[in-house]
Amino acid sequence: MSKRTEIQTILEDFKPRVGQELTVMGWVRAFRSNRFIALNDGTSMGTLQVVVDFEQIPEDVLKQISFHACIKATGKLVESQGAGQDVELLADTVEILGAANPEEYPMQPKVQSLEFLREKAHFRMRTNTFSAVFRIRHGIAYAVHKYYNDNGYFYMHTPIITGSDAEGAGEMFRVTNLDISNPPRTEEGEVDFKEDFFEKPTNLTVSGQLQAEIGALALGKVYTFGPTFRAENSNTSRHLAEFWMIEPEVAFYDIFDNMDLAEDFCKYLINHILENYSAELEFLDQRIQNLEKNMPKNERRAMGLIETLRFVVDNDFERITYTDAVNILRNSKPYKKGKFEYDVEWGKDLQAEHERYLVEKKFQKPVIVRDYPASIKAFYMRMNDEQEGVPGKTVAAMDVLFPGIGEVIGGSQREERLDVLKTRMADMNVHEEELWWYLELRKFGGAPHAGFGLGFERMVQFITGMGNIRDVIAFPRTPGNAEF
Amino acid sequence: MSKRTEIQTILEDFKPRVGQELTVMGWVRAFRSNRFIALNDGTSMGTLQVVVDFEQIPEDVLKQISFHACIKATGKLVESQGAGQDVELLADTVEILGAANPEEYPMQPKVQSLEFLREKAHFRMRTNTFSAVFRIRHGIAYAVHKYYNDNGYFYMHTPIITGSDAEGAGEMFRVTNLDISNPPRTEEGEVDFKEDFFEKPTNLTVSGQLQAEIGALALGKVYTFGPTFRAENSNTSRHLAEFWMIEPEVAFYDIFDNMDLAEDFCKYLINHILENYSAELEFLDQRIQNLEKNMPKNERRAMGLIETLRFVVDNDFERITYTDAVNILRNSKPYKKGKFEYDVEWGKDLQAEHERYLVEKKFQKPVIVRDYPASIKAFYMRMNDEQEGVPGKTVAAMDVLFPGIGEVIGGSQREERLDVLKTRMADMNVHEEELWWYLELRKFGGAPHAGFGLGFERMVQFITGMGNIRDVIAFPRTPGNAEF
């Protein structure tokens, strides 16, 4: 095809191109007065004004220049006389690459509801809101790889199909190529998984952590970035059945190193977007202001989107223990006034309402809570020594809580002591045979190590300010929904 | 934990650190004369010589300094008197972080077979060969993201769980959370997938291409990099049931733009490794030479590993049509002498032996074959006009063939004409209802576009020279094997 010039290239450096004959291709965002096309090609938020002479362009072409029609235009780039743009393209020729008959096309040049757009996931990326979200999503993903690469970590692809269900019993998806209608059976009448593809039951992974530990105890510093799955029947704005997770795992790190890494990493991601996607952020910031205009003040955000992001990168995260958190909560006004739905008691997990109080009311910034009761945490988390003033046993676990979205990171120092680990596994009913290799990692050449998991979509939500997690992943998977 | 200095940091810039008191942590690669430890921490191929004074170190510690034991050593860094290293650490203290009793530890300081090491996937990354492979694997993955980011592409996460089986009928894994032993049934006795998590049958994706086309027709240039799956019972050195694929998809690209992109992209990846992982490549190059030493000459590689990589980046890929390929093959010596196992005839797919002849004998470099018979290619590939001298209908498809590994890339220009696409789908029995959104992409704001898929593990094989694909992914999934 004859080469095009990308619109972002023209907009960010138009001077040397003025007077040149250029070809652009993209989707019509608006067509005013049968003369001015606002053309966007996805490269940025910006549109190029393409000016057509309706006496020169054939009638049938002109008629097809409509919202989201795809066109190719060739002409001279000139400085614009009108307000609102530096340059415009005076089109000699316009070719319709793909019409979009407005009588039939479901997208319209006005605000359409996010719910409606979710059903039109094959078109929503053409809108300002979603193109901004998905460019930023890319930016965050790239920053993840750049951060770890530049800091000497190695990217590991941990398995998606796993024979282990140590972590997610009951919430895992089964993977099979048996005939479900009529599976092979053993003599005892059980489903004969020896006949399945992997010759045993397999599931979709809930986390790459256990395998990432293998990498950390060989290469020192590794991270994963891959899809993870929960067959959990949660129809909320914070849950997906399929989501992406980033899991660094580091040899020779303890829980304090781990907290430092988590804070530095989060700030790096946010800074990368502040520095490289300002047009997108400004658009999304304005979008939220428009949405909140008619809301009562107490339902509006305390700070604007960009202000929030700057605040997070400019301030230290608050760091407290779980025991501190319980004491703060029990002394809080909402607790004393009976405003919390769930009780606060040492040994019970913190609920979203409690986390929100800590982050949004008490500290008004990200909070890292550590040293949780062993009884509510996973088997692989490192047992702490008894601590003064702490009523029960704790593990070196940490959660990073963010304003508006709650937990974005969960992590821990891992139990490297074989005997302690075995006791924990027995207590929590995790079978040794299934994790023989995980135990051997402690038996041969083990080391203290730590890591965490960052829910990628939660971070995208935080940075874009989108309220529903289904709007930050291209094709959300939720109960009853695997469309596209 | 008290902070460590990474061994790579010391080795690459030792001068300013000589005389300093440093702490290092890592795994023992060798222990000579009860005095000299070669310590590796995974950061690079290099080892630091740690010198212990056996009169100063407690007997029980000394006894535990063995192959792959994990230790922490603190002492002064001095210039080395011995040959083979610039500096060494005179250890004041040595602490055993994780012993590795040689009586029980399965890994040994000698060459162990790749087959054996596959069963010890939790330890094999500690070996020179596998640590080199997995550092390079990281490097290639990072280069993928850097290439596309720097060229204005957006990374898209296409869905892993899909409700469509348009592409991979019969070779897909089923995803379910029904009780396979006793699934719910409809009144007609069929399995009632309305009761399943997604309320319909779902599978693991075989490709993100169709969804990536959605992104390309909104953001212009996108790529995917995610896991894909084949429930194919192939126990070969080139097949995995779970592998990673990179799929760029570009609006306004035709098949020739697509070939340019594929060639440029492959060369970029290889260059990135040549420039950043020379120690790893040299080790792997030497490894192959050692392996081939005792082989008959005709079974050895024509060129060394690094020589091959340089040759690929320094030369243009050969570009031919399928029809050219058939003509070349039918005029070839092996064809005339009846040496090919499979026949060569226009309309039949090229077999590995044919591809190997073209790449390794005829052209001795990467070859891009395009314009394949429509009858052997997928429904979404763009139908070519009739071509002179070509006996049948062709599509604008392309395969990139590499020496030693065969096809690394398969791609095409996509059929953007709604009527042509519908005819092809009907001919090939692909149901329109299932791909309603794919058709709508052609109906509203469509455009010419093209893309391809690069098999990531194939590229890692090519760059590392590893003969078996199971040795370039951390935890291979193959028929009967989902261990770890």
For chain A, list the domains and their CATH numbers.
7-108 (2.40.50.140), 126-171+206-471 (3.30.930.10)
Minimal CA separation from A197 to chain B, in Å: 6
Alpha helices in B220-293 (DSSP H): 255-276, 278-292
Which residue shows structure tokens 């490794």?
B273
Three-state SS for B102? coil
- Residue with the two structure tokens 């479901």: A106
User: pLDDT at position A169, please?
Assistant: 57
Mutate to test the interface with B, among A130, A138, A443 (most CBs of B within 10 A): A138
* Side chain identity, residue A156: M
The span from the CA of B263 to the CA of B368, in Å, is 9
Q: What is the DSSP string of A8-32?
A: HHHHHS-GGGTT-EEEEEEEEEEEE
Which chain B residues in 42-101 lie under 8 Å from chain A, judged by CB atoms? 42-43, 68-70, 97-101
pLDDT digits (tens, 9 = 90+) for B59-79: 999 999 999 999 999 999 999
Q: Which residues pair with B411 in a beta bridge?
A: B398, B452
Report pLDDT for B63.
Answer: 96
Among the residue ranges A390-394, B53-57, B97-101, B273-277, the one predicted with the least confidence is: B53-57
Terminal-to-terminal C-alpha distance of chain A: 29
Helices (H) and strands (E) in chain B, counts: 14, 16
Contact of A483 with B107, CB cutoff 8 Å: no
Asked whether the beta carbons of residue B175 and residue A141 sit closer than 8 angstroms, the reply is no
Q: Pick the residue with more confidence: A325 or B294? A: A325
Report the pLDDT value the prediction gives residue B226, as an integer from 0 to 100.
98
Structural contact between residues A284 and A307, judged by C-beta atoms closer than 8 angstroms: no
Contact A43 B152 (CB under 8 A): yes
Residue B134 to residue A156, Cβ atoms within 8 A: yes
Count A/B contacts: CB-CB distance under 8 Å: 340
Q: If contacts are CB pairs under 8 Å, which of residues 213-272 in chain B contact chain A?
A: 214-215, 217-221, 226-227, 229, 231, 233, 241-242, 244, 251-254, 257
Cα–Cα distance, B258 to A353 (Å, whole number): 52
Q: Is A126 on the interface with B (CB under 8 A)?
A: yes
Integer distance in angstroms from the first to the last C-alpha of chain B? 29
Contacts of B125 in chain A (CB under 8 A): 214-215, 218-219
| Helical axes A305-314 vs A278-292, angle rounded to 10° | 120
- Mean pLDDT, chain B, integer: 96
Question: Which SS3 state, helix, strand or coil, does residue B37 take?
Answer: strand
Q: Contact, B371 vs B364, CB < 8 A?
A: no
List the structure tokens of A345.
């008691």
| C-alpha to C-alpha distance for A323 and A345, rounded to whole angstroms | 10
CB B42 within 8 A of CB B35: no
- Tell me the sheet residues that pair with A98: A70
Instruction: Tell me the shortest Cα–Cα distance from A36 to chain B, in angstroms.
Output: 18
User: Which of A211, A1, A460 has its CA nearest to residue B155?
Assistant: A460
**Residue in A closest to B413 by C-alpha:** A1
Chain A interface test: which of B2, B31, B148, B157 (most A C-beta within 10 Å): B157
Q: Residue B308 pLDDT more than 60?
A: yes
Q: How far apart (Å, rounded) are the C-alpha atoms in residues B68 and B366?
A: 41
Other Cβ atoms closer than 10 A to A401: 26
> A131, A471 in Cβ contact below 8 A?
no
8-state DSSP, A119: H
Which of helix, strand or coil describes residue A92? Answer: strand
**Whole-number pLDDT of residue B328:** 98
What per-residue confidence (pLDDT) applies to A54? Answer: 86
Rg of chain A taking only CA atoms, in angstroms: 27
Give yes or no for a contact between B332 and B362, defined as CB atoms under 8 angstroms apart: yes
What sign for the dihedral angle of Cα B390, B392, B396, B397?
Answer: negative
CB contacts of A275 in chain B (<8 Å) are none
Tokens of A217: 């105890």
Single-letter amino acid code for the residue at B35: R
Q: Using the beta-carbon criterion (under 8 Å), do B197 and A152 form an inter-chain contact?
A: no
Structure tokens at A300: 């509006």
Q: Which residue of A has its CA nearest to B181?
A: A191
Instruction: List Cα–Cα distances, B334 to B326, B347, B361, B454, in angstroms.
Output: 13, 20, 11, 30
Encode chain A (484 residues) as per-residue pLDDT tens digits: 568 999 999 999 999 999 999 999 999 999 999 999 999 999 999 999 999 998 889 999 999 999 999 999 999 999 998 888 999 999 999 999 999 999 999 999 999 999 999 999 999 999 999 999 999 999 999 999 999 999 999 999 999 999 987 665 568 999 999 999 999 999 999 999 999 999 999 999 999 999 999 999 999 999 999 999 999 998 899 999 999 999 999 999 999 999 999 999 999 999 999 999 999 999 999 999 999 999 999 889 989 999 999 999 999 999 999 999 999 999 999 999 999 999 999 999 999 999 999 999 999 999 999 999 999 999 999 999 999 999 999 999 999 999 988 999 999 999 999 999 999 999 999 999 999 999 999 999 999 999 999 999 999 999 999 999 999 999 999 999 999 9
- In this complex, the residue of A183, A211, A444 whose CB is nearest that of residue B474 is A211
- Yes or no, beta carbons of A98 and B68 under 8 Å apart: no
Interface pTM (ipTM) of the complex?
0.97
pLDDT at A20: 97
Cα-only R_g, chain B: 27
Which residues of B fall within a CB distance of 8 Å from A448?
1, 97
Q: Would the CB atoms of A138 and B154 count as touching at under 8 Å?
A: yes
| Interchain contact B298–A (C-beta under 8 A) | no
Query: 3-class SS at A314?
Result: helix
Contact B319, B368 (CB under 8 A): yes
Question: What pLDDT sits at residue B165?
Answer: 74
Helix, strand, coil tally for chain B in percent (to 5): 35, 25, 40
DSSP B361: I
Q: What single letter denotes the amino acid at residue B119?
A: E
| CB spacing of B481 vs A1 below 8 angstroms | no
8 Å CB contact between B198 and A481: yes
Q: Where is pLDDT greater, at B83 or A461?
A: A461
The contacts of residue B39 (CB under 8 Å, 6+ apart) are B7, B24, B26, B27, B28, B29, B47, B48, B49, B50, B71, B73
Closest approach of A407 to chain B, Cα-based (Å):
22
State whether residue A5 sits within 8 Å of chain B by CB. no
List C-alpha distances in Å: B463 to A343, B126, B139, B224, B457: 58, 20, 11, 21, 10
Q: Which of A376, A166, A395, A148 is nearest to A249 (CA)?
A: A148
Q: What does pTM read for this prediction? A: 0.97
pLDDT on residue B54: 85
Per the structure block, which two tokens stand in for A362?
């008490």
What is the phi/psi pair of residue A243, to 5°? -145, 165
Name, in order, each residue with C-beta under 8 angstroms of A126's C-beta and a sequence gap of 6 or more. A27, A42, A68, A107, B217, B218, B445
Q: Which residues of B, range 144-183, sit inside 8 Å of A by Cβ?
A: 145-146, 149, 152, 154-163, 172-178, 180-181, 183
DSSP category for residue A241: S
pLDDT-derived band at B164, boundaries 50, 70, 90: confident
Relative orientation angle of helices B436-443 and B418-427, to the nearest 10 degrees: 150
